[in-house]
Amino acid sequence: MLDVTPLTEGWTLRHEGAALPAAVPGCVHTDLLAAGVIPDPFLGRNETEVAWVGRRDWTYGIDVPASSGHERTDLVFDGLDTAAEIRLGGPDNQLLGSVRNMHRSYRFDVTGLQGPLSVRFTSAYAAAEAVRDRLGERPNAYPEPFQYLRKMACSFGWDWGPTLVTAGIWRPVRLEHWSTARIAHVRPLVTVEHGLGRVELAVEVERTRVEAGLTVEARVGGVRASAAVDGTSGVVRLEVPDVELWWPRGYGAQPLYEIELTLSDAHGPLDVWRRRIGFRTVELDTSADDHGTGFTFVVNGERLFARGVNWIPDDVFPSRITRERYRERLARAAGAGVDLVRIWGGGIYESEDFYDACDELGLMVWQDFPFACAAYPEEQPLRGEVEAEARENVVRLMPHPSLVLWNGNNENLWGFRDWGWERRLAGDSWGEGYYLGLLPRVVAELDPTRPYTAGSPWSGSWDHHPNDPAHGTHHSWEVWNRDDYAGYRLQVPRFVAEFGWQAPPAYATLRRALPGETLAPDSPGMLHHQKADDGNGKLERGLARHFPVPQGGFSAGDFDRWHYLTQVNQARAVAAGIEHWRSHWPVCAGTIVWQLNDCWPVTSWAAIDGDGRTKPLYHELRRLYADRLLTLQPRGGGLVLAAVNQAAGAWTPSLVLRRMSVDGAVVAEASVGLSAAARTVAEVRVERELEPVGPKEFLVADADGLRALHFPVPDREVPYPKPEFEVTVAPGSVTVTAHTLVRDLLLQADRLDPGAETDTGLVTLLPGEQVTMGVRGWETPDAATARSALYCVEPTR
């Protein structure tokens, strides 16, 4: 049988004659940080102090033991970041190969070789700039050369990420010892028809001896089948009766089937391949209709409104992300009602741990190929690398039932049309051949059971603008960049693949990341941890449309208020979009919020900050993405109450509408009948006498524990009463009882203790109402301290 020797211990990192202990998997930055050579780049403005690291060459070394008694020994790297030269052996220091792609693995025959192994990394800047000098300039959205190298683009910085250009052995490395033959690749095609699950396993083997007779045997769900290997390939087909279907969360269970394939010769087993698979069908309905061109996921015949989040690498140093961290982040996504995670194209193909968690949690995965916001040359050496990485990763990820879509790129087709690229390129290659040629060909050949789309956004063809909201996927960024979030209600895109609103991270995260700094929106550390173009200006203009802004803007003395209000505005903005778009199902068939997570502590669009703390947006997503949602929508000069029912059963709620004044009086009240069938939206127009008039009134809709609110004017015009409420505490909870209207009450649990968290986000209480908020990680509760961590919208001063 194949034997494996992990190479994890004994590595050193060398630069300019100095040697440091190195961790593998890891990267140069984490090794230098562990050795105390550089400061933590996430703290203060240290990012700029370590910029030199990405401009240097680095060498990793280890002594490789002698080969075993097998016929062949391979040195296998699951990931090298990025441009490197690998040598092994004594005085000759034999060159094994040169590599230049972070997104693929490498295998070298080292039979009979032993001694010092060196992996010399060239600066990613130098490698990228050399390609740029040879192929010519190509435009991109950021002043860094990331499109000339097959590397995680956001290593070079983004509008939410630091510029920390990594190098290193970022995934495991090992020696594999084998004889006669080994399994090189297994490509499982999984289909379902009338309860019968079919699995076709296309197997590729590598051999040391041609004359050996080989067989492959597979088993899944109690079914076994075998086939002979013809040369270097074989195909095993199995039929599994009465299979249980894998469903996205909220639609059914996620049964997973263990599948095992064994390669043998006449003397016994030689190698084994094991994975888990799930039986399900997935289609993408992009047919034309009266509204344009659709974009609807259909799983097991069920049409879905996708409740999604965009995912970026969870750490700018991906080797630090553990299986447990993936699971925790993704479990939080599922806990917020999310059923789809889009892996964004400026990052990576994630590890098996990510997709395993999605399989188990019922989270559909939309996988971008790693291209983002740039014109990518199509000449060599890039073209061959792109095809190699695509072929490897399509086959690697095929077993996962959670994977439902391959997407060619992020925003590059849009960029070509709208960002001035076409004129600047003057006929040079820019990536279109990848997205409309190479990548769909690779997917069709290797993974025909899954849909492919050329990009996000993409209207389906050049007949329409790439970001046309009526056709295919749409990215809605004009609202954040220029408008009030009420602008989301002006369009009903077919599928909103990106939209979002910024807010700072949790207070405790800022205190850790900016030690000793007097916090202000424009303090040095805050500005350094705000990477978006005019980000603070957009935050303040967004606030000014709704809340009173101090003359001259917020200062250090107003920081706590600014921090709270920006987080409120983020949650409200995302709510405005999702409530509007969900109410237009099935015309709009999904929303993917930008973004779930962060890779460091930063002001960004994330719902979970770089330290893993949730923002109010996270808790708001739990309401917005629940199976059932009530929303009041301005339409046609009046108000419409929409009952969104994504549950499997009909919903006939007992609705109560109350027109109220801000002092707590009920001006008018009515019970309304409404019934929403399963997976539908039901609407009822609000009668005129129930519509609030002027700044002193608002409308409340209640049904089955759900609530919708409508205030007809911005908060700055509402004469809110001074909020009055009582606070009581008990182990694990804080209870607030309102005596007046209390708008958007928020408990910032991390202000009680950096390790504390609450299970409740923004809550609006009417006079006499009460809410109990669970709190974990606060060891010494008292009411006065709890009150100090409670914030709400206050009257205009």
3 state SS of 2 = coil
Q: What is the pLDDT of residue 93?
A: 81
pTM beyond 0.85, yes or no = yes
DSSP string across 4-56: EEE--SS-EEEETTEEEE--SS--HHHHHHHTTSS--TTSTTHHHHTGGGGGS
Domain 628-717 class in CATH: mainly beta
Q: What is the pLDDT of residue 797?
A: 62
Q: pLDDT at residue 355 above 90?
A: yes
Give the position of tokens 């995670």. 341
Compute CA 711 distance to the chain's CA centroid, rounded to the nearest angstrom: 33
pLDDT in tens, 181-203: 999 999 999 999 999 999 999 99
Rounded to an integer, the average pLDDT of 268-278 is 97
CB of 686 closer than 8 Å to CB of 631: no
CATH topology of domain 286-624: TIM Barrel (3.20.20)
- Of the options 1.10.40.30, 1.10.238.10, 2.60.120.260, 2.60.40.4070, the CATH number for the domain spanning 3-175: 2.60.120.260
From the number of C-beta atoms within 10 Å of its C-beta (0-12, 13-18, 19+), residue 494 rates as: buried
> What's the token pair of residue 505?
């991270």
Dihedral sign, CA of 599, 602, 607, 612?
positive
Q: What is the pLDDT of residue 184?
A: 97
Please state the length of the chain: 797
pLDDT in tens, 404-421: 999 999 999 999 999 999
What is the Cβ-side half-sphere exposure of residue 168, based on CA atoms within 13 angstroms? 27
DSSP string across 42-106: TSTTHHHHTGGGGGS-EEEEEEEPPP-SSSEEEEEES--BSEEEEEESSTT-EEEEEEEBTTS-E
Compute CA 351 distance to the chain's CA centroid, rounded to the nearest angstrom: 13
Rounded to an integer, the average pLDDT of 343-363 is 98
Share of the chain above pLDDT 90, in %: 95
Question: Which residues are catalytic, by number?
Answer: 411
Selection from 280, 260, 279, 263 nearest residue 271 by Cα: 263
Q: Do domains 286-624 and 628-717 have the same CATH topology?
A: no
Give the CA dihedral 467, 472, 473, 478, nearest 10 degrees: 30
Q: What is the pLDDT of residue 91?
A: 65
Q: What is the pLDDT of residue 90?
A: 66
CB of 564 closer than 8 Å to CB of 526: no
Biggest alpha carbon–alpha carbon distance for the chain = 91
Q: What is the pLDDT of residue 212?
A: 81
Rounded to an integer, the average pLDDT of 312-324 is 98
3 state SS of 534 = coil
Give the position of tokens 């220029």. 482
Domain range annotation of the chain: 3-175, 180-277, 286-624, 628-717, 725-791
CATH topology of domain 180-277: Immunoglobulin-like (2.60.40)
| Average pLDDT value over all residues in the chain | 96
From the number of C-beta atoms within 10 Å of its C-beta (0-12, 13-18, 19+), residue 302 rates as: middle
The one-letter amino acid at 143: P
Confidence of residue 267 (pLDDT cuts 50, 70, 90): very high
CB of 617 closer than 8 Å to CB of 598: no
pLDDT in tens, 102-128: 999 999 999 999 999 999 999 999 999
Question: What does the alpha-carbon distance between residue 594 and residue 344 come to, in Å, rounded to a whole number?
Answer: 10
Dihedral sign, CA of 236, 237, 239, 244?
positive
Residue partners of 233: CB distance under 8 A and separation at least 6: 202, 203, 204, 205
Q: What is the pLDDT of residue 89?
A: 85
Q: pLDDT at residue 92 above 80?
A: no
CB of 409 closer than 8 Å to CB of 439: no
pLDDT in tens, 604-661: 999 999 999 999 999 999 999 999 999 999 998 899 999 999 999 999 998 999 999 9
Rounded to an integer, the average pLDDT of 509-518 is 97
pLDDT in tens, 49-79: 999 999 999 999 999 988 778 999 999 999 9
Rounded to an integer, the average pLDDT of 330-339 is 98
